[in-house]
Amino acid sequence: MMRSFALRQMTMAFGRIPNTPGSISLITSRHLSSQGVAAVENLRDALEEYRKEHYRQCLPSRFKKDLVKAATNRESGRIAIDDLQQVIANISMEHKISEQEMETIFQELGESGKISADKFMKMI
């Protein structure tokens, strides 16, 4: 009983239950279909696997910032599907998330095929 209250409080404070496998921000999950949720989970799993192997000594937030910086178009401040797919290919994680899953994420969360860097940061 006390644990569920604490989790509820954390969810209200942070928008997700931290350190819970499969936790997606509540704001993001409200806007996604079940396929979209699964696609986001696969993307997060791929990124987390890479982070654990190559960013072991850094904070997760540092990895996320570097990832977003690499994928973001400098002029628009938004992430296009092609740019994110290139980053995924560069880190050799294309076997973890399919092109169809990437398209699902961008169709459901993106405006005109792009996602703002802030929205993407919250999603991952």
Q: Summarize pLDDT for 23-34 with one digit per residue, the tens.
A: 555 445 557 888
Please tell me the predicted confidence (pLDDT) of residue 113. Answer: 82
Which residues sit opposite 116 in a β-bridge? 78
Q: Per the domain annotation, does 20 fall within a domain?
A: no
Please tell me the predicted confidence (pLDDT) of residue 104. Answer: 92
For the chain, the domain total comes to: 1
Q: Per the domain annotation, does 43 fall within a domain?
A: yes
Q: DSSP string covering 20-45, please?
A: -TT---HHHHHT--HHHHHHHHHHHH
> Which structural domain, as residue segments, surrounds residue 75?
2-15+25-123
- pLDDT at residue 15 above 50? no
**Sign of the dihedral through C-alpha 122, 92, 112, 29:** negative
47, exposed or middle or buried, with CB in 10 Å at 0-12, 13-18, 19+?
A: buried
Please tell me the predicted confidence (pLDDT) of residue 30. Answer: 59
Please tell me the predicted confidence (pLDDT) of residue 11. Answer: 39
- pLDDT at residue 37 above 60? yes
Determine the 3-state secondary structure of 114 from DSSP: strand
Q: Per the domain annotation, does 75 fall within a domain?
A: yes
Q: Report pLDDT digits (tens) over 62-112.
A: 999 999 999 998 888 899 999 999 999 999 999 999 999 999 999 988 777
**Average pLDDT over every residue of 3-28:** 44
- pLDDT at residue 20 above 90? no
- Distant-in-sequence, close-in-space partners of 23: CB < 8 Å, separation ≥ 6: 16, 17
